[in-house]
Amino acid sequence: MIFIEARMWESIQGGSVEKAVTIVFRRWDDRTADGLIRIPFYVTPDIEMSEKHMNSIIAGLGVLNAVSCVKFEPATPYDRNVIKIFKGVGCLASVGMQGDTQKMSLSDTCPGVGMVEHEAMHALGIWHEQSRPDRDDYVKILEENIIPGQETNFYKFSKDQVESFSSPYDFGSIMHYYSTTFSKNGERTIER
């Protein structure tokens, strides 16, 4: 689910039991003058040299700014907690604010705006749609087709670990894998 309602975001970020991820992570708590949650970021020079990467980053973060109660803004020298977007070996980001500098890796193989949105959602504290406790009601994970070592990307959380806020399962979510993601043989890893 790409749209983050203010009610849901407050629950994710607050100290209540109802939060999207109950593993330990610190919350993004800096606010803009109009009350949005401010997420400072900077892009390392290796990506800045790639117009393709910069356009994807600007567009992807712009989408999240437009549809949620967060505002990604260029970091200042005074920001303590920032997202560092760099050209790494894969497409990945830690889930939830990590403190100090949080890394978001975007390699040349990351396919554009959608991947930026996906990894930024992880940095906000959102897990994969197919990790929901009720996922088995909607999809089947075909473990025999998953690349060895990538099984953790298909982990199913318990109801005690995540909150889905009674939202319907969203096959079209930016946080849902494609049917062949991490396939070792071209066959499906997720089946409807």
pLDDT < 50 positions in the chain: 1-24
Segment 6-21, tens digit of pLDDT: 444 444 444 333 333 3
176 annotated as a binding-site residue: no
Domain locations along the chain: 6-124, 128-192
HSE-CB for 135 with a 13 A CA cutoff: 24
Is residue 119 part of the annotated active site? The answer reads: yes
Contacts of 95 (CB under 8 A, 6+ apart): 21, 23, 25, 122, 123, 125, 126, 127
The fold adopted by the segment(s) 6-124 is Collagenase (Catalytic Domain) (3.40.390)
What's the pLDDT score for residue 98? 87
Active site residue: 117, 119, 129, 163, which one?
Answer: 119
Helix 51-67 vs helix 113-124: angle between axes, to the nearest 10 degrees? 50
122 annotated as a binding-site residue: yes
77-83 contacts at long range (C-beta below 8 A, 24 or more positions apart):
79/30, 79/40, 81/26, 81/28, 81/30, 81/40, 82/40, 82/41, 82/42, 83/39, 83/40, 83/41, 83/42, 83/120, 83/123
What's the pLDDT score for residue 167? 87
Q: What global pTM score does this model have?
A: 0.84
